[in-house]
Every structure is written in C-alpha cells, then in structure tokens.
A and B are shown apart, each in its own frame.
Chain A
Amino acid sequence: MTRNAAAIAVSTGVYAIAFGAAGVAAGLGVLRTSVLSLVMFSGASQFALVGVLGAGGGVAAALAGALLLGARNGLYGLRLSGLLGLRGPRRLVAAQGVIDESTAMAIGQPDQPSSRYAFAVTFGLLYVCWNVGTLVGAFGARALGDPSRYGLDIAGPAAFLALLAPRLRTGGAPVALVGGALAVATTPFLPVGVPILCAVAAVALGWRR
C-alpha cells in the first residue's frame, strides 16, 4: 500500500514542478506560489487560480474557479468522516489531506485501520512531494519539461481507475459510467470544475439499493 501511495506521490510531484513553474510564470513569485501548495494543497484549484491570474483575470474570477474545483473535497469529506472515524482536533490536520488521491486510496481498503493508514500515508507522501516539487519548479528547474511528454497526464486517471475497480465490480459501475458521461457531456458548456460536480447526479442511480 505504501508503494502504491509512493507511486501516486511521485507522479503528482512532477506536476508540482509544473505548477511551481506556472506560478512563477504567472507573476506570483516563489513565496506566494509556495503558500498555495502549502495551504491550498489542491492541485486543480491551484492551477486554476494561477491560470486566471496569469492571464490577467480578476481576483473574483480566480477565486470562483479555485473554489468550484475545491468543492468536491467537501463531498469527499462527507465520506471520509465515517470511513476514517476521526474525532476532535485531529480533524483539523486530516482536513488538509482530503483530496482526490487520498480519498481514492482510502475507499479502496477493506477495513477502517487500513483506510486510515492508506489515507495518512498518501496524504503525508503527497504533501511532501507536492511542496518539494513546487519549490523545484518555482526555482526554475524546468529541465524535465512538460509532464505530458512522459504520459503523466494519464497517470492520475489510470490510478483512480485502478483504485475504483473493486467498487465498480460491486455495483458501482452504473454510477461511474453515468457520472463520467455527465461530466464529459457538460464540459463544453459549463465553467471548469462544474462538470465534475454534475456527476453527483449519477448517485441517484445507486441510491435505492
């Protein structure tokens, strides 16, 4: 499990290098770019924020994009709350770790101790790789070039698919297919981030059982 988490963390870390470079290119400087990775810690939201600011967009537009993309983490939190059984102040720390990767790892486990371990190890490794990668990118190490050159843009989807597979075999497939279709179908028309949230409607398919 640790090895799987490490694989996710490393491939995400390469994206962090791209993010660090993008943040500096957008005029945020090393400090603000790093603050985003340390505190926002949500890749899609961070790329959206610096993308809008870099293109000369306003603060309101930049915030709207980042917050819409961040909203799904709130929904992950609803699931992780019961799954991890966290109480009290520990939730303040755990909350920072509620992201796509840690959720995918946690829901793929057979029991609560393994879910907690999967969540913690994915969060920890990814947090370190994400922030180190951001610094490397922000200080100009662009030798690696575009992550998509190595096919890393499909590493995330492939990892999520592998982690979802047990859920798909046990009745989750219709929800997954309809959710994916809804998101793709609405992508040309809706603001970035919203199509993913539209997929929540697919949950109705599995609700009655």
Chain B
Amino acid sequence: MMVWVAVLVGSLGCYGWKLAGLCAPRRFLDLPAVRRFAELVPVALLSALIAVQTFSTGHTLQVDPRAAGLAAAVVGVLLKAPFVVIVVAAAATTALLRLAI
C-alpha cells in the first residue's frame, strides 16, 4: 500500500513540475530577466547533467572510460560530425576501453 502511495504521489508530483513550468503566466515569462534566465537554464542544466553523468557514480567523483567517450564526442562536435556518429563514437570508445581494461 505504501509503495502505491510512493508510486502515485511521485508520479503526479513529477508531472506537476513539468506542467507548472509549461503553464507559467505569459506576463511573467515575458519579463526580460525571466526570458534571459529561461533561455540559459537548459544550457546550465544539461551541461551539469553531462558533467555529473560522466564524472561521478553516486557521490563519488571518478575519471573512467566514460571520460574517454565524452572526449570522443567533443572531437566529433569539433569536426561537425553527424549527431548519430557522435553518439555511437562516444559509446564505442567507452565500451572498447572497458573491454581493454
């Protein structure tokens, strides 16, 4: 029963976050400061996600084959490689390095 509570309250809560952002009042979103903030927020959050998912496991910071995969992605971006090539190159680099270690 308590597990159902966690599942349903958590699910509705997560949906609530999404809906709240999407339904923020137009007048509020049109304020220049808010507009600038909203434009840059995805850049900051997605960069944070990249960094955390590459360099940490739980609360531990570590440099492992994932870092090499991200480096491959950086090279792909600099060479303006197609999106799918960048993703596959990163995954392959990490997977092969894990096999080799």
Contact = CB atoms under 8 A, between A and B. Distances in A.
Partners in one complex: yes
Interface of A: 3-4, 7-8, 11, 27-28, 32, 35-36, 39-42, 45, 49, 53, 59, 62-63, 66-67, 70-82, 86, 91-92, 94-96, 98-100, 103-104, 107, 148-165, 167-168, 172, 175-177, 179-184, 187-189, 192, 195-200, 202-203, 206-207, 209
Given A67-B13, A162-B87, A203-B44, A157 B23 contact: no
Interface size range on B against A: 35 or more
B70 A161 contact: yes
Contact of A92 (B2, B19, B48): B19
B15 A96 contact: yes
B3 interface: yes
B86 A104 contact: no
Given A73-B18, A74-B21, A82-B38, A11 B45 contact: no
Given A91-B22, A100-B49, A157-B50, A151 B17 contact: no
A71 B44 contact: no
Contacts, number: 288
B40 interface: yes
Interface string B45-65: 111111111111011110001
Nearest to A23: B7
B15 A154 contact: no
